[in-house]
Structure 1
Amino acid sequence: MTDHKITPEKVTKPIQLLAAWLVGLITVNASFLLAAQQITKPDWATGALVIAAIVNVPVFIGALFLLQTKFRAQIQEDSYYAQYLENERQFTQSSRADVAKVVEQEIAQTTEKIIKSLGVEGRGKELPIAEILRESQLELMVAKLGSSRSLAELYVSPKTWAAVSGKFSKNESFIRDIEALLEEGLVEKKFRGYKHCKLTNLGTQIAKIAEKQGQLFNQIKPEFWEFGHKELADDDA
């Protein structure tokens, strides 16, 4: 049998790690089959080793497929993965900037229409009109998203957010809730998933207004909120 030696400190690239996996599979299966040839008693040991060697192959292929699909970005070389993370960060930042830009454009266009409709009386009133429109925009956001549980979690209890996002990461209602906040620019995140989400300045502003109006999730459903956080505390314990 060929002597396959792996020097851990020389495994510096993901493709080398996959090669090491392959060498490991060959080595383990070869040792299983060799042992199966040598063992005579107990009788079941030979069959168990052969079955283990057979099962190892689809398990390895499945793990390899998972790495090449779901975790493809993570198994790139460090330089490429760093670029991937940077692209992710820039994308989220540009998305938030786009939302803010669109809102300001809408306010400016609406202000211009109002000024034109007022004629002479509207001259010099651009700033107060724009401010009123911004406030109304905030009120609309509060009405739409002020009672969001994710908003309340990130505002009232940010320290437990990692536990909340982990517990409900596959819950469709949770995903819709947090995605709505991300889409409106109330929440930002650095990486895939929702563990590293945090409120933007706009999100904090909306949460404060909702809190004053008693519209936060924890204010609307205090018993449910307390029960949920008690469960989180019990899980941590």
Structure 2
Amino acid sequence: MTIAYDVAGSGRTVVLLHSTVCDRRMWDPQVPALVDAGYRAVRADLRGFGETPMPDRPYNNADDVVEVLDEVGGGPVAVVAASGGGRVGLELAARWPARVTALMLVNTALAGHEPSPALAAFDAREEELFDAGDVAGATELNVATWLGPHADEAVRAKVREMQRHAFDVQLAAAEEFAQVRVAYEVSAVTARTLLLSGVHDLPDFGQIADELAGRLPRARHVPLDWAGHLPSLERPDAFNALLVDFLRAGDA
């Protein structure tokens, strides 16, 4: 198995897919809460993040996650996915709807989204820093952009470590292989879906949540007035309460 992952607890499986600012460690505050609530938490590092190396051939993130699910077993799952991981979670739920019964998307990205001026400016500044060889500066830009007002210095340090590690792994790759894009229809998702967006995040992610709430058949959008881009790290207790309530609603 190329993809690094871990499993904790027992019960219905909850798959945790990380933001591309982080790796699977972003879910450290959620795993104990899920285990205590009677769920099995499976979290994976996407390629080039955490303990998963860069790919040595063309790849597809959703296919990788399915391979993990086949290995751990356990039947239909709930998927909790953040930002870039949300794009993977959405694809998973659309291509294999029978395998995903619940879907929580947190400030999710969306294929084909036209960036706002704020997001375009972030992308341009990050590229400038990379072109200048300033990886530390690019890391700090991400920490400053993607954490909301409730993130303390320990959380900022954790995100800084995860983001810098990802940059180091990705920049050291001898060759970059493209992800294989597979066409799918968002309307194929049958899972009940909760879309969370942070009011302190860039505007793109609230707009994406609004769009998906109108396109997914069983979705609702809940803006979080306290959150930035990574609410699971910014206020774990508040996020965990939302997460467990959402999962338990499907168990009733």
Using structure 1 for the length normalisation, give the TM-score.
0.26
Which protein has the bigger helix share?
1
Greater Cα radius of gyration, structure 1 or 2 = 1
Which is strand-richer, 1 or 2? 2
With structure 2 as the length reference, what TM-score do the two structures score? 0.25
Which structure exhibits the higher relative contact order, with contacts defined as CA atoms closer than 8 Å and separated by 6 or more residues?
2
